[in-house]
């Protein structure tokens, strides 16, 4: 019930302070759903996977035939072409062997319809290129998965920033109410001659400071809301208010470590495998290739006709024995790229372990800080209560009361900031150790 009252008050206050902007309550689960459906980074990552998948499908040419069809029409008086065209059309007669007709033939038309097929039989370098393309495709799939994991972590952080911003607004609104109340007391005391004008000015300065801090906190609410809109690819940029409370979460860190099954680490393994396969492909390019081929042809002196036909088939063993030093350089380059990818993988895992150790220490620091800020908040609250009562009785200096108010507001903000740091450290450790 307390949470609903708190949300209602903040919703009303922010609605009055933010002009011409809609204030929308939102839960973290709702943000996660919209991000998973509409986030642009996820869509970009999915398209990267589709590109890699298309590249892999192109390597089907290593096994599948290449089939083509063509229809060609010519007219010629070239002796050789004219004789060959009649031969293909199967219309040669005894008279066509006359030297006069052979040397000076009449114009002849020839229309040829041709179906060709080329079938790879042995193409070792192509097989390794296909393996490299498959590894790249699988790596892109894991990259998409890691992008989704990262955005879940980013939503956690962004939503906590929104919660923290509202906590700051709530603290500063209370501080402003207290400052205004103290200003009224100071004004009354000044009129009665109990306070000097300098004391009243100090109270007024305090009120102005709190007003400025409150305005900054409200701007932070809008900034956090805009970032959530960006993550959800929502261009309306409304002001959100969290329906979930900023509370301390618990998490065990003792057995957490970097796993080689983490999607981005596995993706780097696959990328290294792709470089290895490309290096092998470049080495296998020195081997010969065996391909089968065949064609079926139709000939006629009329377009799109085919009274005469014939076929041809065979196999070709080809071997590019030497292409300058091109292939040697290419193989050397791919080997270096493979060695580089192994070093990058090792460095990435080492860096991930470094980040995990830092995150664990940050969590421990936040845990200790949380205990201190909780105690400091309780002490500052009690101090403010005592000084306020004494100030009402004329037993406390204005400067001391203002100092107590400032300290209490600061300790509240520090407390909620520490909760944010504590929860953020846990979320980051979970992100780093996710399998």
Residues 42-92 have pLDDT tens digits of 999 999 999 999 999 999 999 999 999 999 999 999 999 988 888 888 888
What are the tens digits of pLDDT across the range 218-275? 999 999 999 999 999 998 889 999 999 888 887 776 678 898 899 999 999 999 999 9
> What's the whole-model pTM score?
0.80
- Give the DSSP per-residue string, 152-190: HHHHHHHHHHHHHHHHHHHHHHHHHHHHHHHHHHHHHHH
Q: In this predicted model, which residue has the larger pLDDT, 162 or 391?
A: 162
Q: Please give the sequence-ordered ranges of beta strands (E in DSSP) within 279-377, or none if there are none.
A: 289-300, 308-318
Average pLDDT over residues 345-372: 93
CA neighbor of 151 nearest in space, from 41, 11, 227, 13:
41
β 308-318/239-242 pair status: unpaired
How far is it, in rounded angstroms, from Cα 264 to Cα 346? 13
The CATH number for 66-122+289-318, chosen from 2.20.200, 2.60.120, 2.30.29, 2.40.128, is 2.20.200
Structure tokens at 267: 């993706």
How far apart, in Å, are the Cα atoms of 237 and each of 31, 84, 264? 14, 76, 32
With residue 50 as reference, give the H or E element that holds it: helix 40-58
DSSP strand pairing (108-122 vs 239-242): unpaired
The pLDDT assigned to 273 comes to 94
Q: What percentage of the chain carries pLDDT values higher than 90?
A: 54
pLDDT of residue 399: 67
Q: Which of 427, 373, 412 is nearest to 164 (CA)?
A: 412
46 and 146 Cβ atoms separated by less than 8 Å: no
Q: How many residues does the chain have?
A: 435
- Tell me the domain boundaries of the chain: 2-38+126-280+327-433, 66-122+289-318
Q: Which pLDDT score is estimated for 18?
A: 45
pLDDT at position 21 is 64
pLDDT digits (tens, 9 = 90+) for 126-168: 999 999 999 999 999 999 999 999 999 999 999 999 999 999 9
Query: In 232-325, which residue ranges form alpha helices assigned H by DSSP?
Result: 263-284
Separation between Cα atoms, residue 396 and residue 403, nearest integer Å:
11
The answer regarding whether domain 2-38+126-280+327-433 maps to CATH 1.20.1600.10 reads yes
Residue 290 reports pLDDT greater than 80: yes
Specify the pLDDT at position 148.
94
Side-chain half-sphere CA neighbours of 240 within 13 A: 27
Mean pLDDT of the chain: 87
Q: Is the predicted pLDDT of residue 5 greater than 50, yes or no?
A: no
Pair 143, 49: CB distance under 8 Å? yes
Closest CA to 418 of 222, 224, 248: 248
Rounded to the nearest angstrom, the gap between the alpha carbon of residue 139 and the centroid of all alpha carbons in its chain is 14
């Amino acid at each position: 019930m307390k949470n609903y009252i708190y949300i209602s008050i903040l919703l009303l206050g922010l609605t009055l302070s933010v002009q011409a902007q809609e204030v929308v309550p939102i839960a973290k689960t709702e943000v996660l759903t919209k991000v998973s459906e509409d986030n642009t980074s996820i869509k970009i990552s999915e398209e990267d996977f589709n590109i890699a998948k298309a590249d892999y499908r192109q390597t089907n040419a290593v096994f599948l035939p290449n089939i083509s069809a063509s229809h060609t029409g010519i007219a010629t008086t070239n002796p050789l072409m004219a004789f060959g065209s009649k031969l293909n059309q199967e219309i040669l007669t005894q008279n066509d062997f006359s030297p006069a007709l052979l040397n000076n033939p009449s114009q002849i038309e020839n229309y040829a319809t041709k179906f060709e097929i080329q079938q790879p039989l042995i193409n070792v370098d192509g097989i390794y290129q296909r393996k490299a393309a498959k590894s790249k495709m699988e790596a892109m799939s894991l990259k998409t998965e890691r992008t989704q994991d990262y955005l879940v972590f980013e939503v956690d952080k962004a939503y906590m920033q929104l919660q923290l911003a509202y906590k700051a607004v709530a603290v500063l609104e209370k501080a402003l109410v207290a400052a205004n109340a103290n200003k009224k007391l100071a004004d009354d005391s000044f009129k009665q001659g109990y306070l000097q004008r300098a004391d009243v000015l100090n109270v007024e300065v305090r009120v102005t400071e709190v007003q400025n801090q409150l305005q900054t906190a409200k701007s932070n609410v809008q900034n956090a809301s805009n970032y959530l809109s960006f993550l959800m690819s929502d261009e309306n940029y409304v002001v959100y208010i969290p329906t979930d409370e900023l509370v301390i979460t618990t998490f065990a860190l003792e057995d957490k470590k970097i796993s080689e099954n983490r999607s981005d680490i596995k993706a780097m393994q696959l990328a290294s495998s792709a470089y290895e396969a490309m290096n092998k492909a470049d080495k296998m390019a020195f081997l010969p290739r065996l391909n089968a081929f065949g064609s079926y042809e139709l000939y006629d002196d009329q377009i799109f006709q085919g009274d005469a036909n014939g076929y041809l088939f065979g196999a070709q063993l080809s071997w590019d024995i030497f292409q300058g030093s091109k292939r040697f350089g290419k193989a050397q380059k791919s080997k270096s790229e493979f060695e580089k990818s192994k070093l990058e993988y090792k460095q990435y895992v080492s860096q991930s372990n470094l980040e995990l150790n830092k995150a664990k220490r940050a969590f421990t620091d936040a845990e200790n800080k949380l205990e201190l800020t909780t105690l400091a908040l309780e002490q500052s609250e009690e101090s403010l209560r005592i000084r306020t009562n004494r100030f009402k009785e004329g037993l406390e200096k204005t400067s001391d009361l203002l100092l107590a108010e400032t300290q209490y507001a600061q300790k509240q903000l520090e407390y909620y900031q520490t909760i944010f740091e504590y929860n953020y450290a846990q979320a980051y450790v979970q992100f780093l150790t996710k399998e």
